Structure formats: structure tokens, C-alpha cells
Chains A and B, each alone.
Chain A
């Protein structure tokens, strides 16, 4: 009896994940085309959020470069579309983002965290301006058409990228690199004197996290038909990823996923119904979360929080 219960508890989480995967993996069979598109959008945000968390949560370095990697993916797709098969394009986009992130990381991650935040904040603008200049003065045309793919294909690609990302995050957490990353987050000096090559670990994980944002960008671009530097390099993507992660809670693996799903759903709703207050709502949610729910949405799921809240209501 006891042992039966214990083994069920141990199995519960993997079983739930598998059930979820099965439901997601067959979505196009039972859901409407509109639902598929919406879920694709939501999953895209989950990818951006979880990839941001992969590096920024354990180390405490706030990266504002997600949009840059996403944009690199979009432009890779726009440039290579039709010349290579889609999986190869997505791979190339991932590699391109990896290289860019490795460069940025090598330059800024050996310095204090402020420099990193400052540098990544402007990175999107930098690439946008470089591209604009290139398009205007070299190619002479602004923007590009993207060879499009059908919605169901894009959905499955995005789902595939997400599954690989989640597996990667999970494995990293349990690996030597994960332990090193955690130690770095606790104290870089001590980590370095314990034999951890701090800059190398940080740069590697940062670059790895960029792969997924780049890949997602490449896949999503095929849905937009036309892109230009303003569309592709939009810092809202960076901000949104950070906001979603914080909203969900960085302390637990599920937190950012939950945050991204809820927030992205909210976003779809707002964008269609109240587009003029979308940023206002998002910004307020972020501020309120930081002030009153520092551990994010998952804090609500913890029993102690509820007990405390109830404790306030019940007369003692």
C-alpha cells in the first residue's frame, strides 16, 4: 500500500508530462485551425521564455538580447527560404544565433552584470540599424518576402523545438554544467576558486540558450510572409520573455512555462480585444508581480501561501 503510493508519486510527474506531450502531439487532429495557430503563438513564447530562463535564472545575469537572437532566426529564414529545406534553415538559424551570443558573451560576460544588461539591451537596435543600412545602401530594397509553410507544419516544428529545449534544460540542470551554473549564481569568485571556468561556462550556456530563440524565429518567419528589420528586431520580444518568466516564477522548472502560457494567452486576448492597453497591462502585471509575488505565479500554488492568506481571513 505504502510502496504502491510512493511509486505512483514518483511516476506521476513523468506520466503527466507524457500525457501532455501526447495531447500536444495530436493537436492538429482534433483542434480547429484557429486553435492550432493560437497554440503555436503561445508555444513560441514558451520557447523564448524558457530559453531566457536557461541562462538568466541560475546566473542572475539579465539578458535583454532574446529579440536579437529571435530576429537573427527570422532573417536567416527570410534569406535562405526556398534555397534549403526548412529543417536545415532552422538549424542554420540556431547556429547563427549561437555564434552571435558567443561573441556577445565573450565580450561582456567577463565583466560585471551591468555591462551585460546594458550591452544586450542595445543589441537589437544595433542589428536593426546595421540591417537597415545594408538593405538601403547595398541591396537597395527594404524587407524581404519569406517562403511560407503551412500552419500545421509550423506548429509541429515549434512543438519539436520546445520539446528539445525542455529536455536540454532538464538535462543541463542535472549535469556538471548545471552545477557549475548554480555555483556561479551563488558566487562567481568562490566558483572560480573552486576550479570552475566561469567565463567559459557562462558564455557557453548563454550561446546555447540563444540557439532556441534563433530556431523559433526561423520557424515563425515562415508564417509572416514579409519581414523587414523593424518587424524582425522588435525588443518587445526580449521584454516579453523576461516578463513571462518572472510572472511565472524562476524558482521552479514549471514556473516560467506556466507564466509563459498564461501570459501569452492573456496577450492573445488583449491584442485582439484591447490592443491599445496591451503594454499597459503587461507592464503593470510585471511590476505587481515583482512587488507582491516575488516568486511568481507558482507561489500561489504553494500551500503555505494559501494558508497564510486564509490565516489572515480567519479570526484567530
Chain B
């Protein structure tokens, strides 16, 4: 069943079409990759999906509901959560408070503080940050801050999680750990749409991959198909 359906979405910044007539479908249970050269419009697409930006045209349907033009917090409540390319943890708050905020507010306040606390502890454990739960988020390493964002997003109980560059700037060990994390997220039943530049990782964790270039979708297929596609190799992989 399709979870997310995007039709002809477009975003213009002045004269620049950062995202242009992109169609996109994500089915429940999938891990879908989004790749493309720098400035291709990947983050902008995430901003459109999560409500940070309003599309110039096009429509977004999520769980059979039109969510185009909704505010970020509303979209979060519908079950679509995200992380940020340039990390945006709540720096002055502890790691566990970060996740607690996700649990409390992502769920429209259904959870009692006690339940939320438990949920936060569980998620910190899940992403492997229990040891630093009481540290201010700004003191965490970059890799850990990215994990913290994942935990915070998961705390909102999303059906679909958008991950923007989880592995950029990480060392090989950390990359491997991040790949395991994505696999674990899928296993617990959350669908994932992930932007990544680390090719080895994206090829092995995704069921399907979309390629953006100059805001347009130029290819879509299995990792195998993408790796051998002529166009993709020319504009991106061939670099």
C-alpha cells in the first residue's frame, strides 16, 4: 500500500526551480533512497514534504490524505517525521529531554509524562545513546547528534521517517553503525526515505532509489538498476 504519494511537486526560489515536477511514491515498509549531486534539490524536497516550505505547485498525499500546505507540527502529528542535514538538536537540553520532547509533542499529548519518559529511555537505548542520556545535546559528537535526531524523530511515532544525510562526516565504523540503525528502524516497522551521499551505504540499505538532478527526477529503480543506469552514471556516479 502506498504511504506517500507526491504529484508534480515544484518549488521555485525566484528564478531557480530547486524542485521541479517531481513525482514520488513510497510504499509502507520500504527504505527508499534519494540521491543526487550537491544542490540537486534533495533537502528542498524534504522541506516540502515536512511542511517547512510551501510548494509552488503540486500535491502531497500521505496515508490517503492531502497534506499539502499543512504546518510542520501538523504534518508531524500525521505521522511524518524528519531529521536535518545540518543538525538541529536542542543544544542546551539533555539528550533525554530532546527525545522526551519528541515523545510528548509528537503524539499530540496522548502520553502521560511517565510513559513519555519510558519511551524516551527506550529510544535512547535503541539508537545507542543511553550512556550520554544526561549530557547536554550540544556536547555530543556529530555522529551522536545525528542519532539523537533520529531518536527524537522516532519518538513522535512516525509512519514515515525522512533522514537527511545520516552518514556525512562520519568515519567508516560510524557509517556501519548508522547502516545498522536504518535496518533496525525498518525492522521495527517504520518506513524510511533517506538522503545519502555515501554510495556503498545507500546501495545496500535501500529497496529503491530515486535520483534528482537540477531539481528533476532523472531516474528511479532498484539499486542495481541505478548503479548501471547510463544517465545516472553520467551526471552523478561518474564524478
Asked if chains A and B come from one complex, the reply is yes
- Chain A residues with CB under 8 Å of chain B are 176, 179-180, 182-183, 185-187, 189-198
Asked if A179 contacts B100 (CB within 8 A), the reply is yes
A187: min CB distance to chain B, Å? 5
Nearest 3 pairs between A and B by C-beta? A186-B90, A190-B88, A192-B72
Which chain B positions have C-beta within 8 A of A176?
104-105, 109, 113
A198 to B101, CA, bound (A): 13
CA A182 – CA B104 in complex, angstroms?
A: 13
Q: Which residues of B contact A179 (CB under 8 A)?
A: 97, 100-101, 104
Residues of B within 8 A of A185 (CB): 92
Find out whether the CB atom of B77 lies under 8 angstroms from the CB atom of A195. Answer: yes
Closest Cβ of chain A to B93, distance in Å, is: 6
Contacts of A180 in B (CB 8 A): 101, 105
A193-B50 in contact given A183-B93, A186-B91 (Cβ < 8 Å):
yes
Tell me, in angstroms, the Cα distance from A187 to B138 when the chains sit together: 12
Q: How far is the CB of B114 from chain A (nearest CB, A)?
A: 13
Closest A-chain residue to B92, C-beta based? A186
Most buried by B among A192, A195, A197: A195
CA distance A185 to B97 in the complex (A): 14
Write out the residue numbers on chain A whose beta carbons fall within 8 Å of the beta carbon of B25. none
Known A190-B88, A194-B156, A195-B73; contact A183-B52, beta-carbon cutoff 8 A? no
The complex places the Cα of A183 from the Cα of B106 at a distance, in Å, of: 13
Listed by A's residue number, 25 A-B pairs whose Cβ atoms lie within 8 Å are A176-B104, A176-B105, A176-B109, A179-B97, A180-B101, A182-B90, A182-B92, A183-B90, A183-B101, A186-B90, A186-B93, A187-B88, A189-B52, A189-B72, A190-B89, A192-B71, A193-B52, A193-B72, A193-B81, A194-B152, A195-B107, A195-B108, A196-B105, A197-B71, A197-B73
Nearest-neighbour CB distance to chain B for A69, whole angstroms, equals: 28
List the A side residues contacting B152 at CB < 8 Å.
190, 194
Q: Given A176-B104, A179-B101 in contact, is the A194-B89 Cβ separation under 8 Å?
A: no
Q: Is B82 an interface residue (CB 8 A)?
A: yes
- Please give me the residue from chain B that is nearest to A192 by CB atom: B72
Query: Chain B: how many interface residues by the 8 Å CB criterion?
Result: 30
Complex CA distance for A195 and B153, rounded to whole angstroms: 10
Nearest CB on B from A203, distance (A): 14
Q: A189-B84, A192-B76 are in contact. List 13 more A-B contacts (CB 8 A).
A: A176-B113, A179-B104, A182-B93, A183-B105, A186-B90, A187-B88, A187-B91, A192-B72, A193-B73, A193-B82, A194-B105, A195-B105, A196-B105
Q: Are B100 and A194 in contact (CB under 8 A)?
A: no
B102 on interface, CB distance cutoff 8 Å: yes
- Across-interface contacts of B76 in A (CB, < 8 A): 192-195
Q: In residues 94-123 of chain B, which contact A (Cβ within 8 Å)?
A: 97, 100-102, 104-109, 113
Measured between alpha carbons, how far is A298 from B153 in the docked complex, in Å?
36
Cα distance, A195 to B107, chains bound together (Å): 8
Chain B min CB distance to A178 (Å): 11
Instruction: Report Cα–Cα, A191/B89, bound state, in Å.
Output: 9
Report the separation of the CA atoms of residues A192 and B80 in the bound assembly, to the nearest whole angstrom. Answer: 12
Within 8 A of A (CB), among B214-229: none
Residues from chain B with a CB closer than 8 A to the CB of A186 are 89-93
Q: Which residues of A contact B156 (CB under 8 A)?
A: 194-195
Cβ contact within 8 Å between A190 and B73: no
Known: A176-B109, A182-B93, A183-B93. A196 touches B101 (CB 8 A): yes
Q: Which of A183, A186, A194 has the most CB of B within 10 A?
A: A194
Q: Which of A189, A195, A198 contacts B106 (CB 8 A)?
A: A195
User: Please, which residues of chain A bring their CB within 8 A of the CB of B81?
Assistant: 193
**Once the chains are docked, how many angstroms separate the CA of A185 from the CA of B104?**
17
Q: In the complex, how many angstroms separate the beta carbon of A111 from the nearest chain B beta carbon?
A: 15
